Structure 1
Amino acid sequence: MSERGLSRRRYLTTVGGAAVTLSVAGCSGNDSSNGDERTITAGTAPGFPPFEMKEGGELVGFDVDLLTAVVEQTDYTLSGWEEFKFDSLTPALLNNNIDVIAAGLTIGPDRDENIDFSDPYYSSDQAIVVRSDGSFSPGSLPDLADRTVGAQKGTTGESTVQDELVGDEITENQYNAYGNYVLAIQDLENGNVDAVVIDVPVANSFAANRPVEVAFVYETGEKFGFGVREGDEARQSALNEGLGTVRESGTYEELTQKWFGE
C-alpha cells in the first residue's frame, strides 16, 4: 500500500459504514506459551471514533475492521472482542485476558517496556478541541494558560497535557482526566472544560457530529500499532504479515476511505 495510511492528513467526513457484528468472547486466558493455541481475543476501548465505538449496540470502527481483515490473512482465528477502559487494556493483555490490543494505541518507549507492538498502521498528531460556539480560540499551547483542559486517561493526549502544560501553563487542578473521550467532549460541550486534547482523526470525528471544532494541531508524529505480550513472537509476526497482505491487496485503502473519507 502507499504511505498515505501513515500520513497526518486523515480527516473524517462520515462516521457511517456498515456495522460489523462481532461475538464478544469471555476472558480467553490464551497463553502465548501454548504453541497449539491459534486464536486471538482482541481488546479495545470504545469511545474513540472512528477507530472504535458502539453503534446500535455493535462494536464498529477502523481498528475493528482492520484487525478483522488482518487476522483473516493469518492462520489464527479471531475469537471475539473484550471491552475495557483504555488504561485497563495493558493489564488485561499482561493477565492473558486478551491477546491483542486494537485501540489506537501509540507506540512509545514507556509502553514498549511492558508490551510489544506490531508494525505501525496509522500516524496521528494531537488536536486541541474547543466549543464551536464559544469565544475561546487558542492557536498554540501557551494560549491554554490558566484554562481547564481535558484528556482521556492513559493516552498521548494526557501525556501532552502533563508534559507540556501542567506546571507551566496550567495547574494540576486545571486538568480533568476522563475514562473515555465521549465524556470529555460532553464536558466540553457543557462548558466544564475549555479545551480537550485528542488525536486528530478522533477530533475530526467529533467535530463532524457535535458543536466542537479543532482550534489547532500540536504535532507529535505518533504511530499506532497493535499491542501484544512481550515474547509473543508468533502473533506479532502473524499480525505483521497480515498487515502487509491487507496493504498490498488494497483492503487497507478501502478501510481508510470508509472510515476517514480519503
Structure 2
Amino acid sequence: MRKKITTWMLLCMVVLLSFGSIAGAEGEKKTVILGTSAEYMPYEFHKTIDGVDTIVGFDIEIAKEIAKDMGAELVIKDTSFDALLPELTSGRIDFVISGMNPTEDRRKSIDFSIPYYRAEQSIIVRKEDKDKYNTVESLEGANFGVQKSSVQEKIAKSIPNSNVISLDKVPDLLLQLETGRVDVVIAEYPVAKANINEDTMAITDAKPVSENDEYAVGVRKGNEELLNSINATLERLKEGDQIQKFVDQAGDLAADRVKDDLNTFEFFWKYRDYYFKGIQYTLLISALGVLFGFILGLLIALMRMSGASILKFIATAYIEIMRGTPMLVQLFIIHYSLAAFDIKFTPIQSGILTLSLNSAAYLAEIFRAGIQGVDRGQLEAARSLGMTKSKAMRHIVLPQALKSVLPAIGNEFIVIIKESSIVSFIGVMDIMYQAQILRGSTFAALNPLLVAAMIYFILTFSLSKLLGVYERKLSASDNR
C-alpha cells in the first residue's frame, strides 16, 4: 500500500514539474514574453487563421517588431486586463501591450515607453437610443458599462449621477448593453467600431474627453535596457508611419469577422478543437488536485486526531483558514503574491497547488468523520492481538473509513472539476478559458458558455455514475 502511494506521488510530481522543465528547456532560446488581454479588437484579439487560433491586432504587430529588433522570439501570454500589472511586477512577463494608458497610478508600479498611439473615446448605445445620448451633457445620470481599471472607468465616474458597471471584457460589456443592463458603453473608437453589432448598436456623436488618451508599452520598474530598446523600435515605426498601417490591417481583419448563425450543437462542433483542448487541462488539473488533496487531507486528518497539541493546532488552523477564505483569493496569493519572495509557479502549477491545498481542508474533515465512524473496539482488538497503533490504523481502521466516506470523496472530486474553472483567471487554457476566447473571437455571447456548461455537466454526471457503480460493487461485497 505504502509503495503504491509513493509510486503515484512520484509519478504525479514528475507530471507536475514537467510543465516547468519544458519551459526551462525552451528558455535556452532568447525569448521575450508579451502580456496582453486579447479581447480588445483591433488592438489584440483572437482569430482563426488557416484553422489555427491566432492572436492578432496592431498591438501584436508592434510587439513582433520589438522582439525582432531585440533578436528574440516573441512569446504571447493572454490573460485578463486587470491581471496584467501583477503578471508584470511578478516577473512572469517582460512587457505589456494591451491598449494601456500610462496613468499616474500605473506609473507608481511600472515604467512606460513613449506613446505609440492616440485614439478618441466614443459612446456606444442601443440603436434606438442614438439620438438620446448624442452629447456629453445628455450622458448625465446614465448607466455606464466600462472595462475594469481603464481610463474609460474614470471618465464614467466623473460624469454627474452616473452609475458605473466595470467588467473585464468588452464582449461582456456589449452583452450588458444589448440586454438593457447599461445604457452606454465607453470605448476607444477603433474598439467600438470593430466590436459593435451594427444591427442593434450605434456610435453616437458624443465625444468624452480624457486627461490621458495615449497608449504606451509597460515594463517593470528599473528595466532600462528593455525600455530603451522598446522606445527605439517605437521611434522607428512612428517615423515610417508603420503603426497606422498596422492599425488599418488590424481593422481589416476585424471587419472580416462575420457572425455565425449557429445553434448550440453546431457551435460546439465547429469549435470542438478549442473545447477538447480545454477538457484536457480541466481533467489534468482536477485529477492532480484531488490526488494531492487526498494525500494531504489524510495527513491533516491524522494530525488533527493525534495526541500532540501542536499538530492538532496546526491541522485545525489549516482547515479553518482554507475553508474560510475564497479559493480565488488563495489562487492569486499563490500565483502572484509568492512571486514577491521569488517563489514562482507556472499557471498550471499554481492551479494544481491551489486546488490541492483547498481540497485537502475539506477531505481532512471527511476522513476524520470516517475514522471516527469506525467502531473503536476494532482498534482495541487489533492492539490486543499485538499490532502497533500505526499498523492497526493502516490495515484495520483506514480501509473501513475510506470505504464509508467514498461518496463524500467522489462529491469533492465533482466540486473540484467545477471549481477548477477559476484557473482561467491566470491563463490556464481550461474549458472556461476556451469559452472566453470564443466569446471574444466570435459575435456569440451565449453559445460558448452554454457549450461549456454542457461539458461540465457531462464530466460531473459521468463521474457520479462511475462512482455509483463502484459503490454498488463495494456494497455487494459487504453482503457476502
Give me the TM-score of the superposition, normalised by structure 2. 0.43
Distance across 1 between alignment mates of 2:36 and 2:149: 13
Output the CA distance in 2 between the equivalents of 1:38 and 1:211.
47
Pairing partner for 1:66 from 50, 62, 65 = 62
Return the alpha-carbon distance in structure 2 between the equivalents of residues 254 and 46 of structure 1.
20
CA gap of 1:243–1:119, structure 2 versus 1, over 3 A, is: same
Which of 59, 83, 86 is matched with 1:88 structurally? 83
2:183 counterpart (181, 194, 199): 194
Change (3 A) 1:127 1:108: same
Matched with 1:12 is none
Listed one character per residue, the Cα deviations across residues 164-221 of structure 1 (whole Å, up to 9, x for unaligned) are 12xx322xxx321111111001111222211011122211222475632222211225
SS in 2 for 1:107: coil
Aligned partner (choices 139, 142, 154) of residue 134 of structure 2:
139
- Give 3-state SS (helix, strand or coil) of 1:256's partner: helix
Aligned residue for 1:257? 248
Partner of 1:154: 149
Aligned: 1:103 with 2:94:
no
Counterpart-to-counterpart distance in 2, 1:160 and 1:81: 30
Structure 1 match to 2:207? 217
Seen in structure 2, the aligned counterparts of structure 1 residues 115 and 28 have a Cα distance that, compared at 3 Å, is: farther
**Structure 1 counterpart of 2:236:** 245
Give the secondary-structure state (helix, strand or coil) at the position aligned to 1:65: helix
Distance 1:142 1:250, change over 3 A: closer
Q: Distance in 1 between matches of 2:222 and 2:147?
A: 29
1:233 partner amino acid: E
The 1-side partners of 2:118 and 2:241 are apart by 18
Give the C-alpha shift of residue 136 in structure 1. 5.7
Judged with a 3 Å threshold, the aligned counterparts in structure 2 of structure 1 residues 45 and 181 are, in CA distance, closer, same or farther, namely same
Query: Relative to structure 2, which stretch is displaced further, 141-150 or 46-55?
Result: 141-150
Aligned residue among 225, 233, 254 for 2:224: 233
Number of aligned residues:
224
- The farther-off stretch of 87-96 and 196-205 is 196-205
Distance 1:109 1:205, change over 3 A: same
Shift of 1:251: 3.4
What is the identity, as a one-letter code, of the residue corresponding to 1:68? K
Match of 1:182 in 2: 171
Q: 1:77 aligns with which of 68, 73, 79?
A: 73
Q: Deviations over 1:25-77 (max 9, x none)?
A: 98989xxxxxx995310010122110011112321111111211232122333
Q: Which runs of 5 or more structure 2 residues have no equivalent in the other structure?
A: 1-18, 253-480
Q: 1:47 and 1:28 mapped to 2: Cα distance?
A: 25
CA contact (8 A) 2:39 2:46 kept: yes
Is 1:45 aligned to residue 58 of structure 2? no
Unpaired runs of at least 5, structure 1: 1-24, 30-35
Calculate percent identity across the aligned residue pairs: 25
> Secondary structure of 1:66's match?
helix
Q: CA deviation at 1:127?
A: 1.3
Over 6 Å off, 4+ runs: 25-29
The amino acid across from 2:35 in the alignment is G
Query: Is residue 45–residue 52 contact of structure 1 (8 Å, CA) maintained in 2?
Result: yes
Three-state SS of the structure 2 residue aligned to 1:73 is: helix
Q: Secondary structure at the match of 2:101?
A: coil
Q: Say if 1:125 and 1:199, in contact at 8 Å, map to a contact too.
A: yes
CA contact (8 A) 1:46 1:59 kept: yes
Counterpart amino acid of 1:105?
A: M
Aligned residue for 1:185, secondary structure, equals helix
Q: Which has the larger radius of gyration?
A: 2
Q: 1:135 to 1:65 in 2, by over 3 A?
A: closer
Output the CA distance in 2 between the equivalents of 1:222 and 1:50: 16
CA contact (8 A) 1:129 1:198 kept: yes
- 1:130 touches 1:136 (CA, 8 Å); kept in 2? no
1:132 shift after superposition: 1.6
Larger RCO, structures 1/2 (Cα 8 Å, 6+ apart): 1
1:242 Cα shift? 1.4
- Report the CA distance shift for 1:66/1:58 in structure 2 as closer, same or farther (over 3 A): same
**Residue type matched to 2:73 in 1?**
T
TM-score with structure 1 length normalisation?
A: 0.77
- SS of corresponding position for 1:217: coil
